[in-house]
Amino acid sequence: MYGGRHAGHGNNSNAQRAVFDGKRMRKAIQRRTVDFNCSIGKFLQDRIWIRDQRDMKFLRPKPNFIIDLLPPSAYLHNPVNAVATKYVHTSTNKNRYPVNVVRWTPEGRRLITGLSSGEFTLWNGLTFNFETILQAHESAVRTMKWSHNDNWMVTADHKGVIKYWQSNMNNLKMIEGHKEAIRDLSFAPTDTKFATCSDDGTIKIWDFNEGIEERVLSGHGWDVKAVDWHPHKSLLASGSKDNLIKFWDPKSGKSVYTLHGHKNTILGLQWNRNGNWLGTAARDQLVKIYEIRMMKDLQTFRGHNKEVCFPTAISWHPFHERLLATGGSDGCLMFWIVGQDTLVEAVEFAHDQNVWSLDWHPLGHILVSGSNDHSTRFWTRARPGDTVQDKYHVGRQKAEELGLKDVDSDEDDDPVPGLAFFNGGLMSGFLPVPMNPHPAVRADFVQTSQPLVPMDQNQDLTPPRPMDIGDLSYVSTSSVNVEDVPGLGMLRSNIRISQGGPQKGGALLDENYVRLVEYTSIQNTGPTPRFGPQQQGQRWSGQEGGGYQQHRHNSRR
């Protein structure tokens, strides 16, 4: 039995204490999880047979197709597959503070959140439950970044202090970096240097191994809100309160180019992994994509009703280079695709207040958001057949009017493990389009096995079987319409049949194995056709409409 002040509730000494006497059963708690192992295993199993999207299975909006769902990296031809709009879980600390920054660990097992109290909170990346908390800084945590080799994490706070952390959360070094709040930092491609920006209007280049300042970049006339190092070049990009985006040479410390695309404070920027696009977000409610080979804006996204929050509320997807997510000060999440003018999808009521930070899981199937409303929320793709309609999409008041269930509860009416798949009005954009779709396929058709039906002893058995074709030179160009045959799946409507013999059957083209299957649904008149050798245990029936008749003792081979 636990004692002390944690045993009761508040100062009530008569509060019920926790008793462990072996006579009371602990209530089972159902925790939500997003199990990605099945999809990864299926992808590794089938990858040898999949050349590209033409060989992928066509996902239909039904729950039983979840077994065919693959990870986002398998759908590189269609970035809409990775849009994460389905609510999964909300994680909140016991002592509530605004969540300023969120970061996944490199292997994706845990999530680290930096709070305005200076604390780090570690959450389980699979079940999203609390793991541990530690006091990392004396002031609000403003930014944290992992090195490219995944061995080190560097964080900075509101007082300008920089700290080094190992993967086991062991703090090894502390640096007095700036005199004012550090807003952002970024590692060089080689991990030997990193850059920081601050409200003091400067950008500093640091030697990571020695922890010493190497160079100060001055040129912005006001607070520098964001900085990011190019993925593989010696080039820095920074955004400031003076509405300017500057490019820097870290070796010489000089500004090489300036962009004047925004009309208000630059709040966030991030390089795309292709090294050619720079995504920027500003207080003018615009999200812009710049092409550095032309030094011009490639595309402008309009949709936010308020400013896009800084500095990490803009995040590119780890696999789909055209997909990015942004968070606004009104609590909304928005998803954009480069090359598409309209908004792809939005979660208008994702949070009650500012969305400060976004980060994708290393596998790309979960997006996590940290907000000023003290909560950390996890979002994933919806499952096949799901209709994403909850209070985060329609609003709390309308959800109550519609009688929608509380998605914050861990109870699920249809708990299907696995990655989810989005079906919120954009189903056509999520499915890999086949190269030669069948025109007569019904939308509700599901390919299943047919049950065995008891048969009469005197009934002629005419099962479909593979046939050998020795010479195709006599195949004519006439065609016959073929209906769906149970157990054979989806069939083509026009199938070429042989005219070298009597019309005893047609040839069905199996979509999966591309083989010819003989069936006997067409009336036969005449002698035995010469389509190949007769199978052992089979004889030709001379009856009208007859075919190959299977002996009873061979029917179960």
Domain boundary among 332, 360, 380: 380
Q: Is residue 555 part of a domain?
A: yes
Does 448 or 312 have the greater pLDDT score?
Answer: 312
Range with lowest mean pLDDT among 27-36, 255-264, 375-384: 27-36
375 and 469 belong to one structural domain: no
Q: Is residue 47 part of a domain?
A: no
Structural domain span for residue 482:
460-557
121 and 215 belong to one structural domain: yes
Q: Is residue 164 part of a domain?
A: yes
Query: According to the model, what pLDDT value does residue 44 have?
Result: 85
CA pair distance 503, 501, nearest whole angstrom: 7
> Token digits for 408?
């914050």
Tokens 């199993």 locate to: 45
Query: According to the model, what pLDDT value does residue 303 have?
Result: 87
Instruction: Work out the average pLDDT over 104-120.
Output: 95
What is the band of 384 on the pLDDT scale with cuts at 50, 70, 90? confident
371 and 482 belong to one structural domain: no
CA pair distance 552, 460, nearest whole angstrom: 10
139 and 282 belong to one structural domain: yes
Peptide bond preceding 415 in cis form (omega within 30 of 0)? no
Domain boundary among 320, 349, 380: 380
Q: Is residue 514 part of a domain?
A: yes
Q: Which amino acid is at 232?
A: H
Q: Which residues pair with 92 in a beta bridge?
A: 375
369 and 467 belong to one structural domain: no
Q: Is residue 455 part of a domain?
A: no
Domain boundary among 380, 396, 430: 380
160 CB burial (10 A radius; 0-12, 13-18, 19+)? buried
Residue 107 clears pLDDT 80, i.e. is over it? yes
Phi-psi label, residue 532: left if phi above 0, alpha if psi -120 to 50, beta otherwise: left
Residue 508 clears pLDDT 80, i.e. is over it? no
> Token digits for 264?
């208000």
DSSP code, position 239: E
Q: What is the mean pLDDT of the chain?
A: 75
Nearest to 205 by CA among 148, 166, 249: 249
What is the band of 406 on the pLDDT scale with cuts at 50, 70, 90? low
Q: Give the domain CATH number at 233.
A: 2.130.10.10
Query: According to the model, what pLDDT value does residue 189 have?
Result: 96
The pTM score is 0.69
374 and 466 belong to one structural domain: no
Residue 342 clears pLDDT 60, i.e. is over it? yes
249 and 108 belong to one structural domain: yes
Tokens 């950390």 locate to: 376
Tokens 């899981």 locate to: 361
Q: Are 143 and 156 a contacting pair, CB within 8 Å?
A: yes
Q: Is residue 296 part of a domain?
A: yes
Query: According to the model, what pLDDT value does residue 326 have?
Result: 94
Q: Are 255 and 272 a contacting pair, CB within 8 Å?
A: no
> Token digits for 74?
């398998």
330 and 242 belong to one structural domain: yes
Q: Based on the structure, what is the number of domains in the chain?
A: 2
> Token digits for 64?
């039983």
DSSP code, position 73: G
366 and 464 belong to one structural domain: no
Query: According to the model, what pLDDT value does residue 271 have?
Result: 96
Q: Which amino acid is at 198?
A: S
Residue-wise pLDDT for 38-66, tens only, equals 888 888 888 888 777 777 777 788 888 88
Residue-wise pLDDT for 263-291, tens only, equals 999 999 999 999 999 999 999 999 999 99
CA pair distance 187, 180, nearest whole angstrom: 20
Using DSSP bridges, classify how beta strands 286-291 and 99-104 pair: parallel, antiparallel or unpaired.
unpaired
Nearest to 367 by CA among 144, 131, 125: 125
> Token digits for 510?
């199996």
Q: Are 335 and 346 a contacting pair, CB within 8 Å?
A: yes
Instruction: Work out the average pLDDT over 328-334.
Output: 91
CA pair distance 357, 311, nearest whole angstrom: 7
355 and 475 belong to one structural domain: no
Q: Is residue 317 part of a domain?
A: yes
Query: According to the model, what pLDDT value does residue 306 have?
Result: 83
347 and 481 belong to one structural domain: no
Q: Is residue 4 part of a domain?
A: no
Estimate to the nearest angstrom the gap between the alpha carbon of 69 and the chain centroid: 11
Does 205 or 36 have the greater pLDDT score?
Answer: 205
